[in-house]
Structure 1
Amino acid sequence: MTTARKAAVLGSPIAHSLSPVLHSTAYRELGLDDWTYERHDVDERGLEAFLDTVDHGWAGLSLTMPLKRAVLPLLDSVTEVAESVRSVNTVFLTPAGRKVGINTDIPGITAALRERGVEHVERAVVLGGGATAASALAALARMGAREVTGYVRSAARAEEMREWGGRLGLEVRTAAWSRAAEGLGAPLVVATTPAHVTDALAEAVPERPGVLFDVLYNPWPTRLAHRWRARGGTLVGGLDLLIHQAALQVEVMTGRSPAPLRAMRAAAERALRALVAREGKTID
């Protein structure tokens, strides 16, 4: 007999989130039949009011854009890992009702890379400078990276990335986005930009590419990912990250481990195929 609990994913827009599929599948597999997981369209202006409604019936929240940083001043505490990149994608409710900010993107990135055989990284490139880029830097630092180059669109983003690197003990060099094609020859390239931003880089993929981790999953493959695979490079996709970070969220919120990764992946793949079909796109 389990106590009914609820959880949800917050963000805006949120209608296409696959998180409800992942978490609901995990609950069924774990025998938590009374647990529920929903999605709520919440932006930065509505976040504090929503958090005020979260009581002891809640197990936790998943956060997506634009809330990963906006939530920081609204929490009772933040883990050291999440604080290091100023990014929270998970809010855990303690038995005492305290709201604790956690980042499962960072271990999710490392788990997704290890699944593709990438255990250690010496040098890498990060495309983009937002919250996911910060998590990527932290993951790369954990995997032994000594040098990371970030390609960003503004001087402010560049400065921020260098500051993240300083906090993480990682040497981060930055360059203008107009030079991003120069970075595609790195052993590992992590693309953290929104849809279609990297399309123009596809023609610059080297003849023998290394590993590309593109955090998008819809559209998939991106034009860059398609070209990368065509040239024989190793691909890690956004669905891999989504599944691994969600599995960690499930373990934190439910106290059950390990999360049913295989069942979650199968459910996510089915849901994504259905979503793409509704949108009239193709996926491979």
Structure 2
Amino acid sequence: MPSANKERRLAVLGSPIGHSQSPALHRAAYEALSLPWLYESAEVRSENLTAFIEQCGAEWRGLSLTMPLKQVVMPLLDSTDRVATMAGTANTLLFEDADPDGAAGGRRVQRGFNTDVAGIVRALAAVGFTGANYVHILGGGATAASAMVAAAELGAERVLLSVRSLERSAWLEPLAHTLGMRIAMRPLGIADRSLVIPELVVSTLPGGSETGTLFTASTRRSALLFDVAYDPWPSDLARAWDEVGGRVLSGLSMLVHQALLQVRVFVSGDPLEPLPDEPSVLAAMLEAVGLESPQV
């Protein structure tokens, strides 16, 4: 546990970033931990990420990364955890002092972590969803990769990706094979007419996106919709599920759970190390975004 008297800086970076609830979540956590840490947000595009990281002084502890930076950051990291390495994306950067005699030549080490995968799994588990054989994912970007790894952890043997560009999303095929899953891809906008209904539909598309994908009433009634976006809410997909009484989980729950693991990283350097009185910290974070308990 870092010294409670030492001020540190952190921030969430991305573009767009104005809607982010990460500052509210992290500030609530550090207040609950009695840490005088400053957590801000900054509009940073892909081409500006290197410059932003280079200007971070010794007072900086770490960064949360969102769209479009989760893949861009990978070459800038000195090391990555197992999940980030597997998914090829990192949403967390931790600054650590290097051994002056070490390979980093005395400069700070930049460690990367992926807490999105565990955030998805934990958010689903919180509403009793712990397994799936067939998962349909919308989107072909960094969060889709994390959703695929999460699907594998849920036991999925088959995954369908609906993507804007088959060419730009081709990098996800080897990941599926590594995870031991059969994968199929198709362009967004093709109606779901399959007789095989997924247990879980995950949308990783940005908030406000037009999916163009039509799901049958049977799919909407049977499959849990997990929409990673949470602003604006409800999304068009969420409304479509609501129309037939389907089950819907907002991405706000994922945001809370992945942020809790980010706090672990920033506090101890280990996403597996629970925080002091962690239930109270989680309760404070949930309250900060008006989500006392996930509902589905």
TM-score (norm 2): 0.84
How many Å apart are 1:180 and its aligned residue?
4.4
1:108 corresponds to: 119
Residue type matched to 2:29 in 1? Answer: A
Gaps of 5+ in 2: 99-107, 269-273, 292-296
1:234 aligns with 2:247: yes
1:4 aligns with 2:24: no
Residue type matched to 1:192 in 2? Answer: T
2:282 corresponds to: 261
How many Å apart are 1:198 and its aligned residue?
4.7
How many Å apart are 1:17 and its aligned residue?
1.4
Map 1:244-283; keep pairs closer than 5 Å. 244-255=257-268, 257=275, 258=278, 260-269=281-290
For 1:22 and 1:66, the matched residues in 2 are separated by 21
Could you give the per-residue CA deviations for residues 171-213 of structure 1, whole angstroms, max 9, x where no partner exists?
2121232324336932110111123435644674436332000
For 1:174 and 1:12, the matched residues in 2 are separated by 27
For 2:222 and 2:213, the matched residues in 1 are separated by 13
Contact 1:63/1:88 (<8 A) preserved: yes
Contact 1:123/1:147 (<8 A) preserved: yes
For 1:268 and 1:234, the matched residues in 2 are separated by 21
How many Å apart are 1:8 and its aligned residue?
0.7
Contact 2:191/2:215 (<8 A) preserved: no
User: Aligned to 1:64, which of 63, 66, 69?
Assistant: 66
Gaps of 5+ in 1: 271-284
For 2:51 and 2:169, the matched residues in 1 are separated by 33
Q: Which moved more, 1:194-203 or 1:221-230?
A: 194-203
1:147 aligns with 2:147: no
Q: Which has the higher helix share?
A: 1
User: Aligned to 2:236, which of 223, 226, 232?
Assistant: 223
Contact 1:123/1:148 (<8 A) preserved: yes
How many Å apart are 1:11 and its aligned residue?
1.2
Q: Which moved more, 1:190-199 or 1:89-98?
A: 190-199
For 2:234 and 2:214, the matched residues in 1 are separated by 12
Map 1:153-192; keep pairs closer than 5 Å. 153-182=164-193, 185-192=197-204
1:121 corresponds to: 132
1:98 aligns with 2:119: no
Q: 1:198 to 1:212 in 2, by over 3 A?
A: farther
Contact 2:152/2:181 (<8 A) preserved: yes
For 2:232 and 2:10, the matched residues in 1 are separated by 27
Q: Which moved more, 1:117-126 or 1:167-176?
A: 167-176
How many Å apart are 1:127 and its aligned residue?
1.1
For 1:38 and 1:142, the matched residues in 2 are separated by 32
SS at match of 1:216: coil
How many Å apart are 1:139 and its aligned residue?
0.5
How many Å apart are 1:241 and its aligned residue?
1.0
For 1:148 and 1:202, the matched residues in 2 are separated by 17
1:82 aligns with 2:84: yes
Contact 2:84/2:113 (<8 A) preserved: yes
TM-score (norm 1): 0.88
Q: Which moved more, 1:206-215 or 1:254-263?
A: 254-263
